[in-house]
Amino acid sequence: MYMSGNRQQRQWIIQAAKELELMPTTEGGLDFKIDMTHAIDGYPGIEHNLPIAPIYSDVVELFKESETTNSPTLLVSYGGPFGENWFYATENVHDDPKLNVFVPHGNIDARARRRGPGGGGSPGQAGWFLEEEHVFPRHGEFVKKMLEGDARMGVGSHGQLQGLGYHWEMWAMGSGGATSYDILRAATILGAEAIGFGEQLGSIEEGKFADIVVLDSNPLDDLRNTVEIRYVMKDGRLYDGTTLDEVYPEQRPLERARPAEEDPANTAAGIRR
């Protein structure tokens, strides 16, 4: 429900959705007041961070009582540079070995070699920013308050970068002091509940889908360990975490639609191959 109409019309939409047992999510854009009315009017989800900081306990209470989930998508932070730029500026995305297994290299080039306006198809300002320009750690303080206050946060990487993006988003959400445990709750059970699948997904329990990630190191020690993925189990099938070749119950290599190298060069990035 993308900021449709006026408030009364948005109330009609959420009422109709309730009658149809649907759980529409929405966003307030850069309008804090619209975010508040979405929560008051009963929208189950609000995407993007609230555009201001700091945010106090009154908002946490409202979200908790209305059971509204906020997925802050800090990779595209409101109120400052997109958080994804921080990761492009501080990590070697271009040579990430695993990213290069799954993402066509021209696509990586377009995002990671040069970061000008609209870098890699991103709608926001892209480039290098002085550390203190970044706002995602301040929004991360709200994440901490929400999770400590028993309100619900979700993890959404806004499609900015497949694979690594979700991890970056978790790390950005943790940058305001939330515990790794709380961020992992947001990434699992709270996210499942947010979309109405808390009975089927989000925790390891009898009767739920066997969707599990096996890590080589403990993310409770350091949230950065979430990328140390040895195995992925999806609905009871086990896959190698580096290649996604199935290892159990059958052993078979991942079928690829086409070799990544066949993808055309992204000339928009100023690169010919």
Residues that bind Zn ion (CB under 5 A): 109
- Least distance between Zn ion and beta carbon 50 (Å): 37
- Least distance between Zn ion and beta carbon 105 (Å): 5
User: Of 17 and 260, which has the nearer Cβ to Zn ion?
Assistant: 260
- Least distance between Zn ion and beta carbon 160 (Å): 18
Structure tokens belonging to residue 163: 């694979």
Q: Is residue 89 exposed (0-12), middle (13-18) or buried (19+ Cβ within 10 Å)?
A: middle
The alpha carbon torsion through 170, 175, 177, 178 (nearest 10 deg) reads -10
User: Of 35 and 109, which has the nearer Cβ to Zn ion?
Assistant: 109
User: Of 47 and 109, which has the nearer Cβ to Zn ion?
Assistant: 109
Bridge partner list, 212: 233
User: Of 108 and 178, which has the nearer Cβ to Zn ion?
Assistant: 108
- Least distance between Zn ion and beta carbon 86 (Å): 21
User: Of 110 and 172, which has the nearer Cβ to Zn ion?
Assistant: 110
- Least distance between Zn ion and beta carbon 104 (Å): 11
Structure tokens belonging to residue 228: 């140390």
How far apart CA 204 and CA 209 sit, in angstroms, is 8
Contacts 24+ apart (CB under 8 A), 154-159: 154/45, 154/69, 154/70, 154/71, 154/186, 154/190, 154/191, 154/194, 155/71, 155/183, 155/186, 155/187, 155/191, 156/47, 156/71, 156/72, 156/73, 157/73, 157/75, 158/73, 158/75, 158/76
- Least distance between Zn ion and beta carbon 109 (Å): 4
Ranked by CB distance to Zn ion, the top (closest) residue is 109
How far apart CA 213 and CA 230 sit, in angstroms, is 8
User: Of 64 and 94, which has the nearer Cβ to Zn ion?
Assistant: 94
